[in-house]
Amino acid sequence: MEPKPMEYRNLPPRLAGLAEIASNLWWSWHPAARMLYKNLDRQVWKESTHNPVKVLRELAAEALTVAATDPAYLARYDAVLERLRKELAEEDCWCDEKISVPVDYTVAYFSAEYGLHHSLPFYAGGLGFLAGDHIKEASDLRIPLVAVGFMYPEGYVMQHIRDDGWQESVDQTLDRDATAITRVLDAEGRQVVVKVPFIEPPIHVAVWKVDVGRIPLYLMDTDIEANDPWNRGISERLYIGDRELRLRQEIVLGIGGDEVLDTLGVHRSILHLNEGHPAFALLERIREKVQDEGLSFEEAARQVRNTSIFTTHTPVAAGHDVFPFDLMEKYFRSYWPSLGLSRDEFFRLGVNPADPRAGFNMTVMALKLSAFRNGVSLRHGEVTRRMWQSLWPEAAPERVPIDSITNGIHVPTWIEPKMELLFDRWLGPDWIERHDDPAVWENVAKIPDEDLWKTHYWLKIKLVDAVRERVRQRWSRDRISTSKVLAGGTLLDPSVLTVGFARRFAAYKRADLIFRDRERLKRMLNDRWRPLQIIFAGKAHPADDEGKQILQRVYRMAEDPEMGGRIAFVEDYGEQFAQYLVHGVDVWLNNPLPPFEASGTSGMKAALNGVPQLSILDGWWVEGYNGKNGWAVDGREGTGDRDGADAAAIYTLLEKEIIPLYYRVSQDGVPHGWVAVMKEAIRSNAPRFSTRRMVREYLDRFYVPALQAVKEWK
Ligand SMILES: *Cc1c(COP(=O)(O)O)cnc(C)c1O
């Protein structure tokens, strides 16, 4: 197959760079780059769901010819292209000043999922967006990093809600040629295919690449002819339920991923594991040192440990893979001798002392073989130290060597472009370059209340329009029932105080908590003068029936006429709708059961855009809440009924504080008290909960010390 740019038959030479820009996801966080495609043809842009590759493939030649002779368009085109090329060519790493010797310091970052853009559906939820935002930030900070993950050709599961409110999944096969993905080719021009070492019968993976600014993300795909049918399905979809298939998936991710980097000749000295799924990569690094450098297992493990970072993301037990020993034996029998280990020694790497018979625990292995370990918020750090105390029985709980680095979001990705313009004006034109500096955000105070409010209100209208447009299409195209049209948000009103709740429907997130006392909620929804409306979105994992039941309960509320059309459920939550939602609602609701929310990141996206939180004190909000930038729910003091107490605390906050504040509008039409909370949310949360702050912490606290270890033995 031809490389992609050749396919853009209509592209005039003067605009050849549009193919170059489209091929690098850099466009996704640079509005000026996106505008180049949008301005060619707004309708095609919309139909492409904001995907430059599709625009170039589908656009009529005429629009391009016109653009190629429009001086204003060409000037913007030239500027964007120059900026892209300049940024990609820059050599100096932000970290250079911290590393005195020229060791090859590439970080290999492994993750089972990446949330980058909705045109690349390789994600399930927060873990994926964290990984995507991490590598975008590594690009911005010019940190040398390569990322490894899976292709998931069937990964895109569209959510449809049945008439009875039950979630159904509609599989959609990814059109690889309609997104910014390229085949990685060898010297002969054939796609690189790698055999996963030591696994019989053999598994092969084809290698694809997504360019994320300066960062290459290599994606493995097992759906190729070299594999037998069973193996072809390994990378079919995310988080397969079947234990054996799941194990094979993780073998491919960790061991195959490492082999891919070797095959491509990528030198790297640091390994960063995003969650335990890719932890077999640690074993593969050790095996190479044992076999190629002749080291003992102990010495090889010591070197690998001192250069490996393991980030754990959840206190929920199901988030930590444990494989039965007999299954491990089946796949690793020929592997452990190559490490210089006996069967027992090998198994001990994955045994949880608190539950030794459970099986081989990926998190335990990752904790044992990485010297740098962290949870993803201060609170999650504490919870994780307690959770794994049995691995360090001699240590007091607070001394368990697991650190924390609080999550953040990639600011250029999640700032809404209109809001960005407002910030450009009042925070200084270079605010985005210095956005992790709290001093920059003191200038939020200067933004006139009216301007911030108008911008926000405009975004809320956009959100409501987008919701209605979705149901309108479903109605006219798919003939869904009128009650579903109403449940989908037809009656939403932008003037009404709007609460947003969107995330995965895992049980601990308690999506239906707000319906705990239906009468009390109904009074607020149906208040004649000061009503409330709530927009829900999110998917349950296809195998999670409990999550689907919660979703069904929420959906039935959206359909219930007694709720007055003020509850909406928007189907098929993904990156694109998340953008509308975190930009456009008035309040971001989060009410998980503590301590299960490790961090949460969607609320950070909302806060950046001036949307305050109404959230349980768990995850990042423990650090984020300051008494003036939103509301903290803490129902702990109540009875033994935690759900009831938390729900009551939410109702009381809504009735006594949030609703009155929102509707206290001055003569000039602006709710100044409300805008003060919006401003405080931006000022206090934006710099801290950014991936700029986060990745710099990983660099200072983990990557640089890990490099010191490399220096030692080089
Ligand atoms: C940010 C994001 C998430 C993660 O949200 P949490 O608050 O961490 O649960 C999930 N899905 C999408 C589409 C997102 O953009």
pLDDT tens by residue, 368-378: 999 999 999 99
Q: How far is the CA of 599 from the centre of ligand 1 (A)?
A: 11
Q: What is the pLDDT of residues 461-519, one digit of tens each?
A: 999 999 999 999 999 999 999 999 999 999 999 999 999 999 999 999 999 999 999 99
Q: Whose CA is nearest to atom 1 of ligand 1?
A: 602
* pLDDT recorded at residue 237: 79
Which ligand 1 atom is the nearest neighbour of the CA of 509? 9
Q: How far is the CA of 615 from the centre of ligand 1 (A)?
A: 15
Same-domain status, 302 and 417: no
Q: For residue 1, what pLDDT band results from cuts at 50, 70 and 90?
A: very low
Burial 391-415 (b: 16+ CB within 10 A, else e): bbeeeeeeebebbbbbbbbbbbbbb
Same-domain status, 433 and 393: no
Same-domain status, 151 and 74: no
Q: How far is the CA of 588 from the centre of ligand 1 (A)?
A: 12
Instruction: Name the domain boundary from 62, 89, 116.
Output: 89
Share of the chain above pLDDT 70, in %: 97
* pLDDT recorded at residue 714: 62
Q: CATH number, domain at 572?
A: 3.40.50.2000
Q: How far is the CA of 370 from the centre of ligand 1 (A)?
A: 27
Q: How far is the CA of 579 from the centre of ligand 1 (A)?
A: 10
pLDDT at 561 over 60: yes
Same-domain status, 539 and 479: yes
Ligand 1 within 6 A of CB of 592: no
Instruction: Evaluate whether residue 375 is within a structural domain.
Output: yes
| Cα four-point dihedral sign 257, 259, 261, 264 | negative
Ligand 1 within 6 A of CB of 33: no
Determine the Cα–Cα distance for residues 37 and 11; give it in Å rounded to an integer.
12
Q: For residue 155, what pLDDT band results from cuts at 50, 70 and 90?
A: low
Tell me which residue range forms the domain holding 271.
Answer: 100-407+695-713
pLDDT at 407 over 50: yes
Beta bridge partners, 208, equal 183, 219
Q: How far is the CA of 603 from the centre of ligand 1 (A)?
A: 8
* pLDDT recorded at residue 640: 81
Instruction: Name the domain boundary from 56, 89, 122.
Output: 89
Look at 299 and 543; give whichever has higher pLDDT. 299
Q: How far is the CA of 537 from the centre of ligand 1 (A)?
A: 11
Count the neighbouring beta carbons within 10 Å of the beta carbon of residue 131: 28
Determine the Cα–Cα distance for residues 335 and 688; give it in Å rounded to an integer.
44
102-116, 341-355, 460-474, 565-579: the lowest-pLDDT one: 102-116
49-63, 88-102, 114-128: the lowest-pLDDT one: 88-102
Which ligand 1 atom is the nearest neighbour of the CA of 603? 7
Region 275-284 average pLDDT: 97
Using only C-alpha atoms, what is the Rg of the chain? Answer: 25
Asked if 419 and 611 touch (Cβ cutoff 8 Å), the reply is no
Q: For residue 97, what pLDDT band results from cuts at 50, 70 and 90?
A: low
Ligand 1 within 6 A of CB of 601: yes
* Complete DSSP assignment for 16-62: THHHHHHTBGGGGG-HHHHHHHHTT-HHHHHHTTS-HHHHHHHS-HH
Beta bridge partners, 361, equal 322
Same-domain status, 354 and 442: no
Determine the Cα–Cα distance for residues 180 and 178; give it in Å rounded to an integer.
7
Which ligand 1 atom is the nearest neighbour of the CA of 126? 4
Same-domain status, 471 and 322: no
Which ligand 1 atom is the nearest neighbour of the CA of 600? 8
Region 163-182 average pLDDT: 87
pLDDT at 153 over 80: no
Which ligand 1 atom is the nearest neighbour of the CA of 538? 11
Region 140-160 average pLDDT: 87
Region 573-584 average pLDDT: 96
Instruction: Evaluate whether residue 1 is within a structural domain.
Output: no
* pLDDT recorded at residue 249: 93
pLDDT at 5 over 80: no
Instruction: Evaluate whether residue 2 is within a structural domain.
Output: no
Same-domain status, 170 and 80: no
* Complete DSSP assignment for 76-93: HHHHHHHHHHHHHH----
* pLDDT recorded at residue 114: 96
Same-domain status, 290 and 341: yes
Ligand 1 within 6 A of CB of 578: yes
Q: For residue 3, what pLDDT band results from cuts at 50, 70 and 90?
A: very low
Q: Whose CA is nearest to atom 11 of ligand 1?
A: 125
Residue 701's identity, in one-letter code, is R
Ligand 1 within 6 A of CB of 602: yes
Q: How far is the CA of 413 from the centre of ligand 1 (A)?
A: 13
Instruction: Evaluate whether residue 211 is within a structural domain.
Output: yes
The pTM for the full model equals: 0.96
Instruction: Give, for ligand 1, the residue of 158, 314, 508, 602 to mutate: max count of ligand atoms closer than 8 Å to Cβ.
Output: 602
How many domains would you assign to the chain? Answer: 3
Which ligand 1 atom is the nearest neighbour of the CA of 577? 13
Look at 629 and 316; give whichever has higher pLDDT. 629
List CB contacts of 350: < 8 A, sequence separation 6 or more. 323, 328, 359, 360, 361, 362, 364, 365
Look at 156 and 387; give whichever has higher pLDDT. 387
pLDDT at 626 over 60: yes
pLDDT at 156 over 90: no
Same-domain status, 377 and 496: no
Q: How far is the CA of 349 from the centre of ligand 1 (A)?
A: 33
Ligand 1 within 6 A of CB of 144: no
* Complete DSSP assignment for 131-199: HHHHHHHHHHTT--EEEEEE--TT-EEEEEE-TTS-EEEEEE---GGGSS-EE-B-TTSPBPEEEPTT-
Which ligand 1 atom is the nearest neighbour of the CA of 590? 7
Looking at every residue in the chain, the average pLDDT score rounds to: 93
Instruction: Evaluate whether residue 433 is within a structural domain.
Output: yes
Q: How far is the CA of 574 from the centre of ligand 1 (A)?
A: 9
Q: For residue 2, what pLDDT band results from cuts at 50, 70 and 90?
A: very low
Instruction: Evaluate whether residue 325 is within a structural domain.
Output: yes
Same-domain status, 107 and 204: yes
Q: Which of 1-15, 223-237, 307-321 has the highest mean pLDDT?
A: 307-321
Instruction: Give the neighbor-by-neighbor strand order of the sheet with 567-570.
Output: 567-570, 532-537, 497-502, 587-590, 613-616, 630-633
Ligand 1 within 6 A of CB of 600: yes
Instruction: Name the domain boundary from 23, 55, 89.
Output: 89
Instruction: Evaluate whether residue 607 is within a structural domain.
Output: yes
Q: How far is the CA of 129 from the centre of ligand 1 (A)?
A: 7
Q: How far is the CA of 559 from the centre of ligand 1 (A)?
A: 25
Ligand 1 within 6 A of CB of 132: no
* pLDDT recorded at residue 29: 97
Same-domain status, 261 and 301: yes
Count the neighbouring beta carbons within 10 Å of the beta carbon of residue 334: 10
Ligand 1 within 6 A of CB of 575: yes
Same-domain status, 289 and 326: yes
Region 617-646 average pLDDT: 90
Determine the Cα–Cα distance for residues 36 and 30; give it in Å rounded to an integer.
11
Region 15-34 average pLDDT: 96
Which ligand 1 atom is the nearest neighbour of the CA of 503? 9
